[in-house]
Amino acid sequence: MTSLVTAGARSRAFMTPYAFLLPALVVTAAVILFPVLQTAWMSLHDFVLFRPRDVPFIGLGNFERMWNDEVFWISLGHSFLWIALVVGFQFLLGLGAALLLNQSFWWRGLARSLVVVPWALPSVIIGLMWTWMYDFNVGVINDGLIRLGLISEPVAWLARPDTAFYAVIVALIWQGFPFFAVVVLAGLQTIPAELYEAAEIDGASRFQKLVYVTLPSISEVIATALLLRTIWVANSLDVILVMTGGGPGYATHTLPLYAFLKAYSGMEFGYGAALALVLTALLLVVVFVYVRRVAREIGR
């Protein structure tokens, strides 16, 4: 009798953590796991929304179509360029900002708060404010550049195929550099002052201190932040959607945007799902590296 009770108590104790987890697991399964499985199913079918009863299984047909789809390759190329430029410049700008904000001056606290503001804003607002600044007729960017003598007449930044992509990239760099500034700054604050003192005794110049003390000390932080940001930037499509909708032509198409447009405007959910799956598969490598780094922390 007693052993039965303890066995019951023990199995109840064993179940306790799972009971606490249950709500989160159920909701996550419903809103994420199930949809993802459905994406996999849809990608194998010719699923067009306004034809819900006629969903033929076409195997890898969607992927075959992708292989021969010029727009897919254009979008993929843009995605790589997009990630490299956005993440690269966000990082450089964020690193510079963090190094400066780590110095001491009397309004440092205020500066640290204000620099973060772009991070807090909705992408729709970011798209809106930059579209307004890029405006062809009365935009402040054209006005400023003409006053500075850098251009002689207004440029239709978002309507020209050769400038639209880079114009959107500038807006994205602006939105994301505070993230790097904040993360790198937090890393800088963990570097012990003794390291700098020792370097100073050895007669290191300021640049040498940056290269031999600062950067190695925060390399882990930088690597994690770069991985996280690459994933985020690779997935982001809302600012492009608001600013150009992917145009002019296909000039600002990236892979997630193309997948979204296929489903949203084209109603071709099967093909959109296949595009989304390819994007995920490409990203999985980065996600894997990132998750492994973070998972090392979990055990403790």
Partner 1 sequence: MIERCSRLARILQVEIPVLVIVLFALAPYAWMVITSFKPNEEIAQWPVAYWPSEGTLKHYRDLLARTTFAGNLLNSFIVAVGAVAVGLLVSVPAAYAFSRFRFPGRRWLMVQFLVVNMFPIVLIIIPLFVLMRSLGLLDTFIGVIAGHSTFAIPFSVWMMTSYMNAIPTELDEAAIMDGASRLQTIRLVILPLVMPGIVTTGIYIFVTSWNEYLFAMMLSGQNVRTVTVALQLFIGEFTVQWGLLTAGGTLVAIPVTILFLLVQRRLVSGLTAGAVKS
Report the site for partner 1 in 202-221 (rule: CB under 8 A). Answer: 220-221
What residues are paired with 268 via a beta bridge? 48
Among 42, 66, 87, 240, binds partner 1 (CB under 8 A): 42
Residues 171-200 contacting partner 1, CB under 8 A: 174, 178, 182-183, 186-187, 190
Among left, alpha and beta (phi > 0; psi -120 to 50; other), residue 280 is alpha
Does 155 contact partner 1 by CB under 8 A?
no
Question: Which CB, 86 or 276, lies closer to partner 1?
Answer: 276
Instruction: Give, in order, the Cα–Cα distances in Å from 33 to each of 27, 37, 38, 54, 209.
Output: 9, 6, 9, 25, 48
Does 294 contact partner 1 by CB under 8 A?
yes
Size of the site for partner 1 (CB under 8 A): 101
Question: Which CB, 1 or 225, lies closer to partner 1?
Answer: 225
- The structure tokens listed for 11 are 């199995």
Please answer whether residues 275 and 216 qualify as being in contact, where contact means their C-beta atoms are separated by less than 8 angstroms: no
Does 225 contact partner 1 by CB under 8 A?
yes
Least distance from C-beta 256 to partner 1, angstroms? 5
Listed in sequence order, the residues at least 6 apart from 66 whose beta carbon sits closer than 8 Å to its beta carbon are 72, 271, 274, 275, 278
| N-to-C CA span, the chain | 38
Alpha carbon distance 97, 104 (integer Å): 13
Residues 84-123 contacting partner 1, CB under 8 A: 93, 96-97, 100-101, 103, 105, 107, 111, 113-123
- The structure tokens listed for 212 are 């031999």
Least distance from C-beta 209 to partner 1, angstroms? 14
Does 238 contact partner 1 by CB under 8 A?
yes
- The structure tokens listed for 18 are 């799972």
Among 75, 79, 90, 131, binds partner 1 (CB under 8 A): 131
Least distance from C-beta 81 to partner 1, angstroms? 18
Among 1, 5, 24, 285, binds partner 1 (CB under 8 A): 24
- Look-up: residue for tokens 């799972």? 18
- The structure tokens listed for 141 are 């960017």
